[in-house]
Each structure stands twice: as C-alpha cells, then as structure tokens.
Structure 1
Amino acid sequence: MNIFSYQQASDAASAITLKKAGPTAKYLGGGTNLVDLMRETVEQPETLVDVTHLPGAIEQRADGGLLIGAAAKNTALAAHPVVRSDFPLLSRSILAGASAQIRNVATVGGNILQRTRCRYFYDNAARCNKRQPQVGCDAIEGFNRYHAILGASDACVATHPSDMCVALVALDAVVHLQGPAGTRSIPLSELHRLPGDRPEVETELQPDELITAIEIPPLSFARRSTYRKVRDRASYAFALISVAAAVDIDDAGIVRGVRLALGGVAHRPWRALKAEAKLMGQMASMESFRVAAETELADAVPLSENEFKMELARRTIVAVLDELKGENA
C-alpha cells in the first residue's frame, strides 16, 4: 500500500510551495486519473496537493473569447451557455468523453494532464518505456488496436486519451501556467510532447508548474463546429478516432477558414495543419475533403492491429467536414 499525505492548497502560490516540499508530490484535481494510477501503483506520490479550491470560473471576454479556470469542472464547462452556443465542438467533446459522474468531479486542468490509458502502461508486469524508461514497449508487438498511427516512435506508441483536448487544440487554446519561476503561457498544441526517445517526459511543464487557466481566443465561425468520436461501443469508451472541426465557407462555396484536430491517433492531441492548409481556398466538396484527409494521413504508420484507423480517420474527417458544409449552406 502506498502511504501518502494530503494537503489542501488555498491558492496557486501555496499549491506550488506544498508541491516543492515533496520530490514525488502530485497536484490533485478530481483524481479520476491519478487515483486510478495510484491503485495500480503506477503513481506512488508521497504527497497529494489538492488544487480543487483554486479558481474555476468560466468568463467570457469582451472580444468573445473565454477564460476558464483550471479547477472548473468538466460538467460546468460543457453546460456553459457560451460554450454551447459559440464553441459547440468543445461542449460535445466533453459530453463524449466520460459519464456524468466523472464529469462532475473531473477538472479542466486534470483533463489536460491525464496520462495515457495504454494497457501496458497500467500493467506493472509489462515493459513500458513511459513507466520505466529504456525497458522496451510491449505494445508495439502486442495488442495495439487503440494505439498511435501518427507521431509515434520505437519507444512508445501510446495515444493521448482526452476528448476535450482535441477540441481545445482545434480552437487554438492557450494554457496559463504558474510555477516557482513565475507565470507564463503556452499554446495547448505545444504542451504535450511526442514520445521520441523520452516518452516518460509527457509535457513541456517545468518542475512544480501548475495549470491555472485555459484561454480560448475568439473564433467567429466556431459556432459552426462539431466533434465526432468513433469508438468500439456506444457507451463511454476511449476513441478509436475522433475529429474536432470548424469550417467557414463563403457564398461561392470556397473554404475561407478551417480548424481541424484529431484524437486517438497520436501521443498528443493532433492538430491537422496539413489538412487545413490543403483546404484553404478550395471548393468545399467531398473530393477536396478527401484530398485534405489523405494529405494529413500521408505520414501515418499503422501497427499490426490498427491499420483500419487509416481508412476510419479518412472517412470520419470527410464525413465531419461534409456535415459542417451543410450547416454553412
């Protein structure tokens, strides 16, 4: 049994101080991921620093953007009227991500920092470079149906499990951080690292840094957006493929704005920049959508059990873009 102490932080500064006091201390939000990992002895912190009492307000800015406190509950964010009207892809991604019970306790900051759900990462008897560096990766030759086809390496083929993060990446979200050296901001698209030869280093966070807020800049055509998640069963399950998209099409049928991100395909939420570039200035059609999808997936490398993700991703991208084309009509 892992013995640990529990401390409750009153603000960001006290949270950072408490965490610095213990070399293996962890910040605790809703605990929907961390507590699971502690049960499996994957995580064994000596101290848990509760940050759920930090700011969790959801504020609309004068320019139409949003500022979301990291302690905001997933339920509150999904149900917020501005999110539902102006950023529907975000609301839909959260609702697709977990049961109501989990959404009621999970925090936005914790959702961003949840770790992979790879079965080999959770299994202490398996080889996993993320859990124990340089021992090998059993997923590469094992059960890898859910694993990455983009951005993976010989050291790790795990995927990032968050649905919410896929929508946030599509929306150019920015993460605000506070740590011992002060405050800084980083685009969410740059927060999570690809595995390379150091899969155990998952983010660009500095030691003891804490997510304090997430900012979503204004995006006028985000009202015409959606999130589609393809999974093995209709009940709550992790994505085989997911697509977050927003499209702006002019009266002549030309794409003049697009945001596209994928889930279930990579070690981090995957911004489909190649597909976006291919679509800009093109006629919105099934053919242009197909070409954009194929362009994004050109560098994909499937594993022994997930080659189907190539075609599934292509079809899902095309279907989502075609759906939004109808909404733009």
Structure 2
Amino acid sequence: MKPFTYHRASTLTDRPAGATIIAGGTNLLDLMKHEVMTPKALVDITALDLNRIEAHGDGLRIGALVRNSDLAADPVIRRDYPLLSRALLAGASGQLRNMATTGGNLMQRTRCPYFYDTRMPCNKREPGSGCAAIGGVNRNHAILGASPACIATYPGDMAVALRALDAEVEIESPAPRQVPLSEFYRLPADTPDVETVMRPGEIITAVLLPAPAGGQQRYRKVRDRASYAFALVSVAAIIGMENNRIAHAALAFGGVAAKPWRDPGAEALLIGQEPSDTLFGRAADLILQSAGGYGGNDFKIPLLRRTLIATLRDATGMEATA
C-alpha cells in the first residue's frame, strides 16, 4: 500500500480537492492493498450526519452512511421493502455488513481477477491495455451489455434490489441532483474505466425509495458456495397478482452485466398474463436475446433462464400449487 494523507471531514464541504472518500472501506482498502487504486489523500466521512433512515414523501430516504446490517434489519425496510433486506443479507458476511455503507455499496468495483492483478492487461484499470478476461478465465463474467473492451460484472446485491425498486441516488455537488439508479451505472462500451455518472468532487448523500411496491418480493442468488460469495446469477423480483393474473412486475438481474440489468420488455410481456412455465420461458428468451458467453461463462445463459423461472414460479404462487 502506498503512502497517503488522511483527513476526517466535519461537513460535506470539508473535503480536500482530489481526495478519495472512505467510509466503511470494505472494498477500497482491498483495492489500495493491491495497488489497483493508489489515492494520495483519503477523506473519512463517517462523522457526517448521513446515517438516518427517514420518511421521504410516500417513500424513504436512506442516508449514505447507513450500515448494511442496520438497513437490512430496519423494521420499515423489512415490512415494506423486503426485497432490499433479503438482498443485503445475501451479500457478504455479518462482519462486513456491520462496516459497509449504503453509498459505499453502490460504489464498489468489480471483482474481476484481472482487474485486481496489476501484472495483467485491464482496460478498466489501465485504459487501452486490453482485456485479459476475453480469452482468459471468465467464469464469473458478463453475458449481457459487455463490449470488446471489457466483460467484467458489477458484483453487488443491494443495487440489484434497488434497481427493481426504482430507487434514485441523491448526489451532492455544486449542482445537487437525483439520478435514477437505471442511469447511475454505465455499460463499458469503449470506456470501461468510467463506471458511473459520478463527477469529480461529488458525493452520494442518500438513496431514495419510492412508495412501497407491494406484491410478492423475492431475491434469489445462485453462487458457488452458500456464504460470502458473489452471484453467478441473481434475480430480484416484485410480482403483484390480481385474479390469478400478473398485474405488475419488476425484474432485475445481478452477476450478468456491468450494472444491475433490467428489461422492461420482459416485464411488459408478463403483465396481464396467467403464470405458466411457457410464459416465463418467453420472458427469459426476451431477456437473453442479446446474451453471449465467452467460453467459461456460457453456462450463465441457461442458469439465468432456470433461476428466473424458479423465482417467478415462487413469486406467483405456482410452487405452492404444483
């Protein structure tokens, strides 16, 4: 780890120019140890008043410093947004959830091994150097939204649930703004080093949730082991039923792209229909029509299909009546 200066902020504006923000540090410190990120200055924001969960219109405002463990255990979250609680509990270990923050979770970076290995080419780490994962070991890599420059995946669980919940990110800057999570992450294209819409000097202050969506909420995560592993495929689903038909649907996917993936066309296909494996298969076809593997991760295509169908069977009550 290279030397750096440390400053503890007392206000939002008490931040040295160019300093890298640190809160829980659960991802940043690993990146610094591997010298993937080598900030010259860190600014600790944990003393700021950003650790509250409070009403915001018909929804909620979740401060950027709310710990993952506190967010997952919050009674309002568990009652009205159980999808978010389940996703948080599916990620990391209890110790990490006690440190990780809402804002930091959104900003975590890929766990692609070539990104972490500074001896290997990686366009995300060093633009123009190439992508070693293409043609390399790519079992955990993207099948949707990838590019010839990068096939890394976004690793988190929380953001997948937030994508299905239509969350927004509150950003403090000279011109404060609210960005829908659908627009917060960028696909790699030819600039995989630019991962979000965050600009220099900006800071996440909160996540905003709309009014509760209701319906059945499920988070299903397929991984290599039962605990503390990143998703090979995950599905966040919100399904509302009326008269044995799907009245509303929201689906988001993790482990398959550089950002939480959502396909409005597949959701529209489900609405107004009676649940069936045939219908769910058609929705999977629509989601996967642009999917492509790179050898080691080809299995993710049928895995996403099976995981989606199983999740929809559960959320629509088909499993209970089978």
**The two structures share one fold, judged by TM-score above 0.5:** yes
Q: Which residue of 1 aligns with 2:163?
A: 169
Counterpart CA distance in 1 for 2:279 and 2:72 is: 32
Report if aligned partners of 2:165, 2:213 keep a CA contact under 8 Å in 1: no
Q: Could you tell me which runs of 5 or more consecutive residues in structure 2 were left unpaired when the two chains were aligned.
A: none
| 1:12 pairs with 2:12 | yes
* SS of structure 2 residue aligned to 1:182: coil
Q: Which residue of 2 aligns with 1:254?
A: 245
Which of residues 88, 95, 99 in structure 1 aligns to 2:93? 99
* SS of structure 1 residue aligned to 2:317: helix
- Once the 2 structures are TM-superposed, how far is the Cα of residue 62 of structure 1 from its aligned partner? 5.1
* SS of structure 1 residue aligned to 2:115: helix
Q: Which residue of 2 aligns with 1:220?
A: 213
Q: Which residue of 1 aligns with 2:303?
A: 312
Alignment-mate amino acid for residue 251 of structure 2 = L
Report if aligned partners of 2:56, 2:208 keep a CA contact under 8 Å in 1: no
| 1:133 pairs with 2:127 | yes
Which of residues 190, 214, 231 in structure 1 aligns to 2:183? 190
Q: Which residue of 1 aligns with 2:20?
A: 26
* SS of structure 2 residue aligned to 1:214: strand
- Once the 2 structures are TM-superposed, how far is the Cα of residue 66 of structure 1 from its aligned partner? 1.2
| 1:56 pairs with 2:51 | yes
Q: Which residue of 2 aligns with 1:276?
A: 267
Alignment-mate amino acid for residue 210 of structure 1 = I
Alignment-mate amino acid for residue 4 of structure 1 = F
Alignment-mate amino acid for residue 268 of structure 1 = K
Counterpart CA distance in 1 for 2:75 and 2:46 is: 23
Q: Which residue of 2 aligns with 1:233?
A: 225
Counterpart CA distance in 1 for 2:188 and 2:42 is: 26
Report if aligned partners of 1:6, 1:50 keep a CA contact under 8 Å in 2: yes
Question: 1:19-55 deviations in whole A, cap 9, x for unaligned?
Answer: x2x3xx2110100000000000000001111112221
* SS of structure 2 residue aligned to 1:262: strand
Question: 1:120-165 deviations in whole A, cap 9, x for unaligned?
Answer: 0000111100000001000011000000000000000000001000
Label 1:156 to 1:249 Cα distance change in 2 as closer, same or farther (>3 A).
same
Alignment-mate amino acid for residue 233 of structure 2 = I
Q: Could you tell me which runs of 5 or more consecutive residues in structure 1 were left unpaired when the two chains were aligned.
A: none
Which of residues 226, 234, 240 in structure 2 aligns to 1:242? 234
The TM-score normalised by the length of structure 2 is 0.96
- Once the 2 structures are TM-superposed, how far is the Cα of residue 216 of structure 1 from its aligned partner? 0.6
Question: 1:257-305 deviations in whole A, cap 9, x for unaligned?
Answer: 1110000000011123221121122222222111111111111011111
* SS of structure 1 residue aligned to 2:124: coil
| 1:44 pairs with 2:42 | no
Which of residues 113, 121, 124 in structure 1 aligns to 2:115? 121
| 1:149 pairs with 2:143 | yes
- Once the 2 structures are TM-superposed, how far is the Cα of residue 97 of structure 1 from its aligned partner? 0.5
* SS of structure 1 residue aligned to 2:251: strand
| 1:205 pairs with 2:198 | yes
Counterpart CA distance in 2 for 1:12 and 1:170 is: 30
| 1:288 pairs with 2:279 | yes
Question: 1:215-252 deviations in whole A, cap 9, x for unaligned?
Answer: 01013325x2010100011121010000000101101x
Question: 1:62-101 deviations in whole A, cap 9, x for unaligned?
Answer: 52x1110001000000000011111111001001111000
Alignment-mate amino acid for residue 291 of structure 1 = R
Report if aligned partners of 1:290, 1:318 keep a CA contact under 8 Å in 2: yes
Stretch of structure 1 that moved more, 288-297 or 106-115? 288-297
Report if aligned partners of 1:60, 1:82 keep a CA contact under 8 Å in 2: no
- Once the 2 structures are TM-superposed, how far is the Cα of residue 5 of structure 1 from its aligned partner? 0.7
Q: Which residue of 2 aligns with 1:265?
A: 256
Query: Identity across aligned pairs (percent)?
Result: 52
Q: Which residue of 1 aligns with 2:68?
A: 74
The TM-score normalised by the length of structure 1 is 0.94
Label 1:103 to 1:49 Cα distance change in 2 as closer, same or farther (>3 A).
same
Counterpart CA distance in 2 for 1:72 and 1:52 is: 10
* SS of structure 1 residue aligned to 2:267: helix
Alignment-mate amino acid for residue 229 of structure 2 = A
